[in-house]
């Protein structure tokens, strides 16, 4: 027993030593900046930018309606921007899922070097700067760009398409940038899929739709959920794609936070907005994972 206890203690110390660098890294580059944001969100905005070290909870009142004082007024435009950001993020998740799900099965069916090549091509955009890739979409979607010119030459349209600076162009850019983040988790689940269950369902008389709905989707659901989370979070807070493809006509929370810090220099308001968005995402996915854990627990009983 004493030897077992000594072994367990030694393993625990080894685990602590292995986790110490990651813990320090997270503490320095995540927890400390997050703490600074929390503090700044309750400080008074400086007259010429920055902060005044006075207790000032009214930054949140401008966003959620309480608390307020004589200088802060609730403005529903922020709620409208958040709802628009939520809509674009959800449509981005749907677009990446529609592209990635069938593609994952197609790639999983390949063999040897061909599969490795396709997986490399999926990861290839990570080797190019995102700004360069987004600027390419500017050239494609502008009224005199390739897409509009092609459609005009085929006679499908009479006037050039005005696709830039719309929700559509932002969603296209988001889907293009974030598709690999959806594809890789789904592909990992599809690669492990037990096809004997698929064959068994067909032997028992299930149609292709029934097999997809009752066998394939539940088995690949962890990849779908994981990919959706990985895509949804950066899509909700993204500011580069909306700035370039949306211009001033498409406002998202990421643009609002960026302008609060860099242009208006209202750091407390930007910090409050960022923390509210973060809190919304944490609560949303905590509820989802709690529901998933309960359903898995009921399934094992």
**Residues 182 and 96 sit within 8 Å (Cβ to Cβ):** yes
Position 301 scores a pLDDT of: 56
**Residues 201 and 78 sit within 8 Å (Cβ to Cβ):** no
Interatomic CA distance for residues 190 and 184, integer angstroms: 10
DSSP state of 72: -
Position 26 scores a pLDDT of: 82
- Please confirm whether the linkage preceding 67 is cis (ω < 30° from 0): yes
Position 153 scores a pLDDT of: 84
Per-residue pLDDT reduced to its tens digit, 72-124: 888 899 999 999 999 999 999 999 999 999 999 999 989 888 888 998 888 88
DSSP state of 213: I
Position 123 scores a pLDDT of: 85
Task: Give which of 60, 61, 63, 39 is closest to 51, Cα–Cα.
Answer: 39
Question: How confident is residue 296, by pLDDT bands cut at 50, 70 and 90?
Answer: low
Interatomic CA distance for residues 222 and 87, integer angstroms: 23
Interatomic CA distance for residues 41 and 270, integer angstroms: 8
pLDDT value at 294 more than 80 = no
Provide the whole-model pTM: 0.87
Per-residue pLDDT reduced to its tens digit, 117-174: 998 888 888 888 888 888 888 888 888 888 888 888 887 777 888 888 899 999 999 9
Position 2 scores a pLDDT of: 55
Per-residue pLDDT reduced to its tens digit, 202-243: 888 888 888 888 889 999 998 999 899 999 999 998 989 999
**Residues 91 and 171 sit within 8 Å (Cβ to Cβ):** yes
Per-residue pLDDT reduced to its tens digit, 10-67: 778 888 888 888 888 888 888 888 999 999 999 999 888 889 999 999 999 988 888 8
User: Which two three-digit tokens encode residue 46?
Assistant: 């400086």
Question: How confident is residue 299, by pLDDT bands cut at 50, 70 and 90?
Answer: low
Radius of gyration of the chain (CA): 24
DSSP state of 46: P
Position 295 scores a pLDDT of: 64
Position 104 scores a pLDDT of: 94
């Amino acid at each position: 027993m004493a030897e077992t206890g000594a072994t367990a203690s030694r393993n625990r110390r080894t685990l602590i030593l292995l986790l110490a660098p990651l813990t320090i890294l997270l503490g320095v580059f995540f927890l400390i900046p997050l703490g600074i944001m929390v503090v700044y969100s309750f400080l008074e905005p400086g007259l010429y930018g920055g902060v005044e070290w006075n207790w000032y909870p009214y930054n949140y009142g401008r966003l959620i309606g309480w608390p307020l004082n004589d200088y802060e007024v609730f403005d529903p435009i922020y709620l409208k921007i958040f709802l628009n950001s939520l809509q674009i993020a959800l449509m981005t998740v749907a677009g990446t899922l529609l592209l990635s799900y069938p593609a994952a099965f197609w790639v999983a069916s390949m063999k040897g070097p061909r599969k490795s090549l396709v997986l490399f091509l999926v990861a290839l955009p990570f080797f190019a700067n995102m700004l360069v890739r987004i600027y390419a979409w500017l050239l494609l979607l502008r009224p005199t760009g390739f897409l509009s010119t092609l459609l005009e030459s085929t006679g499908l349209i009479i006037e050039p398409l005005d696709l830039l600076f719309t929700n559509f162009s932002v969603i296209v850019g988001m889907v293009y940038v974030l598709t690999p983040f959806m594809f890789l988790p789904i592909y990992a689940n599809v690669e492990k899929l037990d096809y004997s269950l698929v064959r068994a369902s067909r032997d028992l008389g299930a149609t292709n739709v029934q097999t997809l709905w009752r066998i394939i989707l539940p088995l690949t659901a962890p990849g779908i959920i994981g990919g959706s989370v990985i895509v949804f979070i950066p899509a909700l807070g993204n500011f580069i794609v909306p700035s370039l493809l949306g211009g001033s006509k498409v406002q998202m929370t990421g643009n609002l936070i960026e302008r609060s810090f860099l242009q208006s220099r209202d750091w407390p308001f930007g910090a409050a907005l960022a923390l509210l968005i973060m809190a919304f995402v944490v609560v949303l996915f905590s509820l989802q994972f709690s529901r998933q854990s309960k359903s898995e627990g009921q399934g094992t009983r």
